[in-house]
Structure 1
Amino acid sequence: MVSTRTPGFSRPRGRFTGRTRAPAPAAPAGSTTRPGRLIRGLGPRPFPRQRGENTFPPTPDRLNPARLAARRRVQFLGCLIAAGWAAAFPIVSDLPNQRLWGAIAAPAYALAGLLCLTLPRRIAPRAAAAAALIGAVLVPLALLALEGRHQSEVMVVERSAHLLLTTGSPYLPHPVVVTDYNPYLPAMSLFGMPRALVGSGGPVAQLVGDARIWFALAFVVCLLASWRLLRPTRDRAPLLPLAVLTASPLIALALVVGGVDLPLIGVCCLAMALAERDRTIGAGLVLAMACTLKWTAWPALPVAVLLLWRLYGRRPAARAGLTALGASLVVMVPAALARADALREQVVRFPLGLTAIQTPAGSPLPGKVLAGFGPTGHSVSLALMTIGGLGVAIWLLARPPVSAIAAADLLAAGLAIAFMLAPAGRFGYLALPAVLVIWPRLAARRWSARPPVPANCLLARPEPVLPRR
């Protein structure tokens, strides 16, 4: 019997229907995917040698929050909620700086809501965002900066820069009062350098030397860079989303009165974006910056390294991890050698409430409530925080992230648990996990943590050729 099969053609699997199956289309020239190398459940793995190109094209989500946010009623409701939130501070807060912010920001948010309702749709969002940004950020920040009014952490950062220049260590050797403690790592002193260099003589020096200005600048630059890395297309600049986020009460209040956590938010978002785009050295350096600002950024290192390992393999992940560890040691070792006791006492024990002088952070979060019951409650709070951290670590190892959104979600979950269960915490700390959840989604223009699979790629391994009978 003569065989009618074409040599090299494989028989289709499954029930024969009488139809000839067309061969799978070949990947186009210049494709950044490699057939047969699959991310489990997500299709092909991005080809590690091609950098700078987005492997996954944007796909519309079933639920589009952007369309919902474009409605006038939703915009007005958001401005109304922000105005009510700001108006509550002059009534319930006992801090003069927060009361001043609320008195100025509440009318600004109300004006922004009115502009959303009355102006044409084409210009209403931009006008409302500008009104909120000016009234809730620029005006109160300028007033407080010119008067030299800020929260104690701004003074601590500026003093640490002066100490670093004069003594070689950013920590006081024998702290006596609360403001003598510096709970930040050595790299935070960089934001106080302008004050140490220009002083505080005159309005210009007051503004230029204020650490809050540099906190905000680092925050904006990092978010812009992460937007450019994660955005599928270069269709528009992120000025409106960035203005809305910065003018929201979530960021505006922290920026005006303190802002010490803003650089940490920015560098964490940028680190996840760099890891997704296979910028290993850049990701390592940014992670080192985060890990030398505050100890709360340390979970970002394993999350970003596992993201690189999941997408591009062991070598890029090891390269980024070693870069981050090496740069962190370069910054941390001199401070540890100069005053190791002060570093341990002020950076580790003081935020955990283990020193004789307690930290002033005192929002009624679960960990703070438990710590109020004495040593037993304090131990329970630390135990719960440890258990929560272990749970997130197990989740991270069991399901490593496959996109910057998934990595940011994991980091946000871990930080939220730590802030909620820590013996001393503030509601303002929750801005970090909130922005980690929101900003990568806005930049990537999708709300799912799972990246879409390219349609022009082979989703399965080639079938073997059956031998001729």
Structure 2
Amino acid sequence: MTTLPLAPVRTLSLRARAGRRGLWAVGWLAASVCAAALALLAAPPPHRVWGQSAAVGYLGAALFACALPRPQARTLSVASALTGAVVIPFLSLTLTGQAQSEVRVVERSAALLVGTGSPYLATPETVTDYNPYLPGMALFGLPRELFGDGSALTRLLGDARLWCALALVACLVAGYVAVRRGGQGRPKAPLTQGGSTPWVALTVLVSSPLVALPLAVSGVDLPLAGLCCLGIALATRGRAGGAALALAAACALKWTALPAVAVVGALLVHRADGRVLARYVAVWLAGTTALVLPFAVLAPGPLVDQVFAFPTGRAAVATPADSPLPGRLLADLGPTGWYTAVALLVCGGVAVALSLVLRPPADVRAAADRLALGLCVAFSFAPAARFGYFALPLVLVVWARIAAGPPGTALPLGSATAAGLRPHAVPGAGVIRASRLPVALKERL
């Protein structure tokens, strides 16, 4: 057996360590620059508050990454970013009552739900009177009804952003554990790989501008992102019922979760059989119907007008979602442009659907990437959308790579068969593809 000389291995280790430290510092510095630009240029006051705090936190993270030895550098970098981009702006904005308008819309919908049984105003007159969310979103506003606006603690506990953030974190962690460990009676994959710590990676994701900014100023899209990740994770383990329930909950929040239903269905078709797909569809239909139908029957007009017509620019009041994306630019040209945008949206959806039939996703990475692609197409050609919507597909892509581990990682054969999956549908079934030398080097870094 040939052994490598110790000196080249040490040189390689030092170079890899320096490269990783440099990337770490550059990433935090880029985030700091983006946050500072937002603090200077953004119009909404909550965005400026976040930008000022986050810019300092990210800059501290970059300096710690450069100046301190590992692992102190990594620990303090993450702590600085989390404190500056999440903790401080979140507490500052919630305790002073500053938020994007959708936070108040969610909390008002909860008050309407308690008082009238419907989360929608019967005759909305202004933009903030419209509730563009499905009935499930009102649940995140219920803590405001419970705690009120008395002390600082009750203001914090009653804020919808807190519960949206907790839902996201819970779903990301549960999805990660589902991907790495599977279910009861199945072989367990390690929760860490290659000497790295995925829990640190998840914390970095939450601290990044992708999550930290919406978490602090709005938060309403975070539960949707978390539930989509959880649904994909459960589907990769053959848990059709759990995946269906997660996506039923997502579809009770926003109708933009519908593409995830198709992607997860294609993933189950590839990895399981028709009975699993039938169980998935049945559970999803039952769950979605139970969560949405009672409110649709109670107030069908307001639901259609506010949830579907308003976001697509067909309501009496124009939607504030006016980022200069292709669909919005076409819609601004008049009725012909609006129908053109809708036609392009449908064509894009059909193309993504065909890709699911011709080449269904085989694992968590492929499923997340395909869903991210479908959402990007939808947001690009929707008659009304915001650049901020693209945070959802980016979170999906990043989370999937954290959960699945390094490329080449494969489920053991026993894990696939115990989950009721077809062994030939699992890449690398029966083997664990890894290289001992890179693992050993990563452990030394």
User: Is TM (by shorter chain) over 0.5?
Assistant: yes
Is 1:343 matched up with 2:303? yes
On the 8 A contact 2:236/2:364 being kept in 1, the answer is yes
1:82 equivalent to 2:31? Answer yes
Q: For residue 280 of structure 1, report the CA deviation from its aligned partner.
A: 2.0
CA distance in 2, matches of 1:124, 1:76: 10
Q: Counterpart of 1:300?
A: 260
Distance 1:115 1:446 in 2: 26
Shift of 1:271: 0.2
| Cα distance in 2 for residues equivalent to 1:142 and 1:160 | 23
Give the conservation status (yes or no) of the 8 Å contact 1:281–1:320. Answer: yes
In 2, the alpha carbon distance for the partners of 1:360 and 1:188 equals 19
In the TM superposition, what are the counterparts of 1:319-358 in structure 2 within 5 Å? 319-358=279-318
Query: Which of 74, 77, 99 is residue 150 of structure 1 equivalent to?
Result: 99
- Aligned position for 1:55: none
The CA distance in 2 between the partners of 1:234 and 1:383, in whole Å, is 45
Matching residue within 351, 364, 371 for 1:391:
351
Aligned to 1:9: none
2:127 is matched with: 178
Instruction: For residue 319 of structure 1, report the CA deviation from its aligned partner.
Output: 0.7
> Quick check: 135-144 or 402-411, which moved more?
402-411
The question of whether the paired residues in 1 share the 8 Å contact of 2:106 and 2:138 is answered with: yes
Secondary structure, counterpart of 1:352 in structure 2:
coil
The corresponding residue for 1:228 is 177
Report the Cα distance in structure 2 between the residues aligned to 1:392 and 1:350, rounded to whole angstroms: 25
Q: How much does 1:122 deviate? A: 1.5
**Contact 1:405–1:449 under 8 Å retained in 2:** no
The structure, 1 or 2, with the larger RCO (C-alpha pairs under 8 Å, 6+ apart) is 1
Indicate the residue corresponding to 1:261 in structure 2: 221
For 1:69 and 1:196, how far apart are their aligned partners in 2? 52
AA of the residue aligned to 2:218 = G
Q: 1:436 to 1:449 in 2, by over 3 A?
A: farther
Give the aligned partner of residue 29 of structure 1. Answer: none
State the match for 1:195 in structure 2: 144
Say if 1:412 and 1:447 are closer, same or farther in 2 by CA, change over 3 A: farther
User: 1:14-38 deviations in whole A, cap 9, x for unaligned?
Assistant: xxxxxxxxxxxxxxxxxxxxxxxxx
- C-alpha distance in 2 between matches for 1:297 and 1:448: 29
- 1:407 aligns to 2:356 (yes or no): no
Q: Answer yes or no: is the 8 Å Cα contact 2:240–2:276 preserved in 1.
A: yes
Distance 1:156 1:204 in 2: 21
Q: Deviations over 1:46-99 (max 9, x none)?
A: xxxxxxxxxxxxxxxxxxxxx799711111111111011001112221111111
Aligned to 2:429: 454
SS in 2 for 1:176: coil
Q: Does the CA-based 8 Å contact 1:305-1:318 persist in structure 2?
A: no
Residue of structure 1 in register with 2:75 after alignment = 126
Q: Which amino acid aligns with 1:118?
A: A
CA distance in structure 1 between the partners assigned to 2:153 and 2:198 by the alignment: 29
1:235 positional shift: 3.2
User: Cα deviation per residue 1:223-267 (whole Å; 9 max; x = unaligned)?
Assistant: 001111112313386431121111111111111100110000000
Q: Which residue, 23, 46, 61 being the options, matches 1:112?
A: 61
**Residue in structure 2 matching 1:97, options 15, 32, 46:** 46
Which residue identity is paired with 1:347?
V
Contact 2:198-2:402 at 8 Å conserved across structures? no
Report the alpha carbon displacement of residue 404 of structure 1 after superposing the two structures with TM.
1.9
Unaligned runs of 5+ in 2: 1-15, 181-188, 411-425, 433-445
Give the one of 154, 164, 184 matched to 1:215: 164
Q: Which amino acid aligns with 2:174?
A: A
Q: Does structure 1 residue 248 correspond to structure 2 residue 187?
A: no
Q: How far, CA to CA, are the matches of 2:65 and 2:49 in structure 1?
A: 25
Shift of 1:447: 4.0
Distance in 2 between the 1:130 and 1:106 partners?
A: 14
* Other structure's SS at 1:405 match: helix
- Once residues 246 and 235 of structure 1 are traced to their aligned partners in structure 2, the CA distance between those partners, rounded to angstroms, is 18
Give, as a single letter, the amino acid of the residue that structure 2 aligns with 1:302.
A
Q: Please identify, of 70-79 and 128-137, the stretch whose mean Cα deviation from structure 2 is larger.
A: 70-79
SS of the residue corresponding to residue 34 of structure 2 reads helix
- Does the aligned pair in 1 maintain the 2:192–2:198 contact within 8 Å? no
Say whether 1:435 aligns with 2:395.
yes
Give the Å deviation of 1:374.
2.5
SS at match of 1:299: helix
Instruction: Give 1:455 shift.
Output: 4.8
Paired letter, 2:20: R
- Give the AA of the match of 1:199: G
Uncovered stretches (5+) of structure 1, i.e. residues with no partner? 1-66, 458-469
Following superposition, the deviation at residue 407 of structure 1 comes to: 1.4
1:359 equivalenced with 2:319 (yes/no): yes
Cα deviation, residue 456, structure 1: 5.4
The question of whether the paired residues in 2 share the 8 Å contact of 1:271 and 1:286 is answered with: yes
Which of 149, 169, 181 is the matching residue for 2:118? 169
Q: Identity rate of aligned residues, in percent?
A: 49
Worse-superposed segment, 308-317 or 168-177: 308-317
1:418 aligns with 2:378: yes
- Report how far residue 101 of structure 1 moved: 0.9
Which residue identity is paired with 2:317? I
Deviations 1:160-183 (A, max 9, x none): 111111101111111000001111
Does the aligned pair in 2 maintain the 1:306–1:400 contact within 8 Å? yes
Q: Match for 1:158: what amino acid?
A: E
Which structure has greater helix proportion? 2
Distance change (3 Å), C-alpha of 1:419 and 1:456: closer
Provide the rounded CA distance (Å) in 2 between the counterparts of 1:247 and 1:98: 16
Q: What SS is found at the alignment partner of 1:111?
A: helix
Aligned residue for 1:298, secondary structure, equals: helix
User: How many angstroms apart in 1 are the aligned matches of 2:431 and 2:133?
Assistant: 49
2:396 is aligned with what amino acid? L
Q: Which amino acid aligns with 1:400?
A: P
| Superposition deviation, residue 397 in structure 1 | 1.2
The two structures, once aligned, show a CA RMSD in angstroms of 1.8
| Aligned 8 A contact 1:153 1:260 in 2 | yes
Contact 1:69–1:75 under 8 Å retained in 2:
no
Give the secondary-structure state (helix, strand or coil) at the position aligned to 1:216: helix
